[in-house]
Structure 1
């Protein structure tokens, strides 16, 4: 199943490359190769999604840094309006390169360099990051086991082996 933003052509190209590399020799090897292709697609998907999560949390980290600068000394009754502008500035940072440069410079002047922002990103995204790392590790482990299964079956002597 493809998610929005994924293309059938990319999936089929990955699948064909895997089939060409594995060169299945039996029905069982074909089934294993299909599973390997599916797992490989999932691994690519998880990497893209993890990257998108980090982008989203980067905007949240920018919001937090801007809030710590811009919300200081705001008079009572103006907090909601100031918060609104802080969120708008963080959104501008994400979609407007000129605004991003200006905001990055302003943040740096207050001691928020890219390392500080990256730290905040990972702190905020840690649960999602751990989730994707777990998904990636599980899929990679399954894929390696399937590849080993094909290799071991090809190396096995006699009728139990998948060699032909």
Structure 2
């Protein structure tokens, strides 16, 4: 969430009534998230919904929170896949490099494989060389991606369920706003 959310020039700045804004706690932001981005994002949601009453404001605040959670979980899911990609490259390198290595040399070889996987992540030249080597042994990008999903599956499923839960909550809140407006 390093990029600031920008409002369209035509959008009006909307802030919840002071009474409502003070009821909720300050947002708990993760490292890399900023209060400025959170407020701009929330403001964009408020401008879209255009709450007119205390009930609508409370629902709009909840919608903004659900939207922020969805964005957060998507970014975390992306980071998860990046981290596990290094692990997947390491696993593929182990399959190639540990084959035929004497058992007493495997620990030292495993250490060097871990270092190579880290180099793959940090050094574009090393990444190219390692990817070419993996490809020569039948590990294309798809094979590495399959390994990523295998290794990250439990956490990936958790993040997917968090995203889905927040999306359902957001949908229900938006329906509640629409229903509230129709019932007035």
**TM-score normalised per structure 1:** 0.94
Match of 1:71 among 98, 101, 107: 98
Alignment partner, residue 6 of structure 1: 33
Match of 2:107 among 80, 84, 88: 80
Deviating beyond 3 angstroms after TM superposition, the runs of 4 or more aligned structure 1 residues are: none
Give 5+ residue unaligned stretches, structure 2.
1-27
Match of 1:114 among 124, 138, 141: 141
Alignment partner, residue 123 of structure 1: 150
2: distance between equivalents of 1:42 and 1:96?
33
2: distance between equivalents of 1:98 and 1:155?
60
Aligned Cα RMSD in Å? 0.7
Q: Following superposition of structure 1 onto structure 2, how do residues 75-154 of structure 1 map, counting pairs within 5 Å?
A: 75-154=102-181
1:72 deviates by 1.1
Match of 1:46 among 61, 64, 73: 73
Give 5+ residue unaligned stretches, structure 1.
none
Which has the higher relative contact order, 1 or 2, with Cα contacts under 8 A spaced 6 or more apart?
A: 1
1: distance between equivalents of 2:182 and 2:102?
76
SS at match of 2:145: helix
**TM-score normalised per structure 2:** 0.84
1: distance between equivalents of 2:174 and 2:112?
53
Which structure has the highest helix share of the two?
Answer: 1
